[in-house]
């Protein structure tokens, strides 16, 4: 009898071949509309999808939305219109490896690369001297933390991050390298939050299985006592912007309007 690992290997090869050749699913009308209203820019030969909507007249404020794992910019669809009523520009992108952006393989996906892609988008849209707010979720939280670290080190003369709000900050594919990256660079990214003078806010769904209540909230407040917090209804979980868009939007706008 062959060794078990040989049998597993022989079975895995055809399954992997089938997986790699599965055609992508057909897009829903909502996703087709989302894609049609966006555009693409190039980062190191990679095509990156983004949306950029002009909103409130009389405001110069910009908000950049950073999505989580394993989703896309469409996570922000339910609060998009509400944000355009407050901000002059509402911008979101699909990180490389996600959504409508390129998914190169093999590829070393990293938080550092994703942060550089956001910086390139800022330059692409000529937002260097604009008032920029970051609103992030899950995987996007770590990208935002890297951006805050760079701001502390050398970006002060390039653009200003005015406010940073994260929601349900969560700690198969090479994209999952980010979990190990979080552990390896914890001091760098948590340190950025602890050292920044940028206003911080957390919007939290207490039913989140990734960040269980109340332990996560207690630790967050201990590490970042300067941050304000909004706790949504008890039934809200890991995707508060989708599960409770009205409550989420109100919590975020209250934070933005407080400074």
Q: pLDDT digit string (tens) for 193-247?
A: 998 888 999 999 999 998 899 999 999 999 999 999 999 999 999 999 999 999 9
Cβ atoms 44, 114 nearer than 8 A: no
| Backbone phi and psi for residue 41, each to the nearest 5 degrees, phi listed first | -130, 170
> Is the per-residue pLDDT at 135 higher than 90?
yes
d(CA 256, CA 152): 21
Nearest to 83 by CA among 72, 95, 91, 75: 91
The chain-wide mean pLDDT, for the chain, equals: 86
Alpha helices in 101-185 (DSSP H): 111-124, 139-150, 177-184
Among 3.40.50.360, 3.40.50.970, 1.10.645.10, 3.40.50.1820, what is the CATH number of 55-257? Answer: 3.40.50.1820
- Residue 238 DSSP symbol: S
Q: Where are the domains of the chain?
A: 55-257
Least confident of 162-176, 207-221, 244-258: 162-176
> Is the per-residue pLDDT at 124 higher than 60?
yes
> Is the per-residue pLDDT at 104 higher than 60?
yes
Amino acid 181: pLDDT: 86
Least confident of 161-165, 188-192, 227-231, 233-237: 161-165
> Is the per-residue pLDDT at 158 higher than 50?
no
Amino acid 99: pLDDT: 96
> Is the per-residue pLDDT at 15 higher than 60?
no
Amino acid 154: pLDDT: 47
> Is the per-residue pLDDT at 156 higher than 60?
no
Q: How confident is the model at residue 11 (pLDDT cuts 50, 70, 90)?
A: low
Amino acid 178: pLDDT: 73
Average pLDDT rounded to a whole number, residues 7-29: 66
**Per-residue pLDDT tens over the stretch 53-98:** 998 887 889 999 999 999 999 999 999 999 999 999 999 999 999 9
Which residue shows structure tokens 């996560």? 216
Amino acid 176: pLDDT: 58
Q: Which residues contact 167 (CB under 8 A, 6 or more apart)?
A: 135, 136, 137, 138, 141, 202, 203, 204, 205, 240, 241, 248
């Amino acid at each position: 009898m062959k060794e078990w690992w040989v049998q597993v290997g022989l079975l895995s090869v055809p399954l992997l071949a089938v997986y790699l050749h599965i055609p992508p699913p057909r897009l829903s009308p909502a996703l087709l509309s989302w894609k049609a209203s966006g555009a693409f820019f190039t980062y190191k030969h990679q095509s990156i999808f983004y949306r950029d909507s002009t909103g409130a007249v009389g405001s110069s404020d910009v908000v950049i939305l950073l999505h989580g794992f394993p989703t896309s910019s469409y996570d922000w669809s339910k609060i998009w219109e509400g944000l355009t009523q407050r901000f002059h520009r509402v911008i979101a992108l699909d990180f490389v490896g996600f959504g409508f952006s390129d998914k190169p393989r093999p590829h070393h996906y990293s938080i550092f690369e994703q942060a550089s892609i956001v910086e390139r988008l800022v330059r692409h849209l000529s937002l260097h001297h604009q008032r920029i707010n970051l609103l992030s979720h899950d995987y996007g939280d770590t990208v935002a933390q890297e951006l805050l670290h760079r701001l502390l080190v050398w970006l002060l003369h390039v653009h200003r991050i005015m406010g940073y709000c994260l929601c349900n900050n969560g700690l198969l594919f090479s994209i999952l390298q980010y979990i190990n990256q979080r552990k390896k660079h914890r001091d760098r990214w948590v340190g950025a939050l602890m050292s920044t003078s940028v206003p911080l806010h957390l919007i939290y769904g207490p039913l989140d299985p990734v960040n269980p209540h109340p332990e996560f909230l207690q630790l967050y407040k201990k590490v970042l006592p300067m941050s304000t917090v909004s706790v949504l209804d008890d039934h809200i979980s890991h995707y508060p912007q989708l599960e409770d868009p009205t409550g989420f939007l109100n919590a975020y706008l209250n934070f933005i309007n407080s400074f």
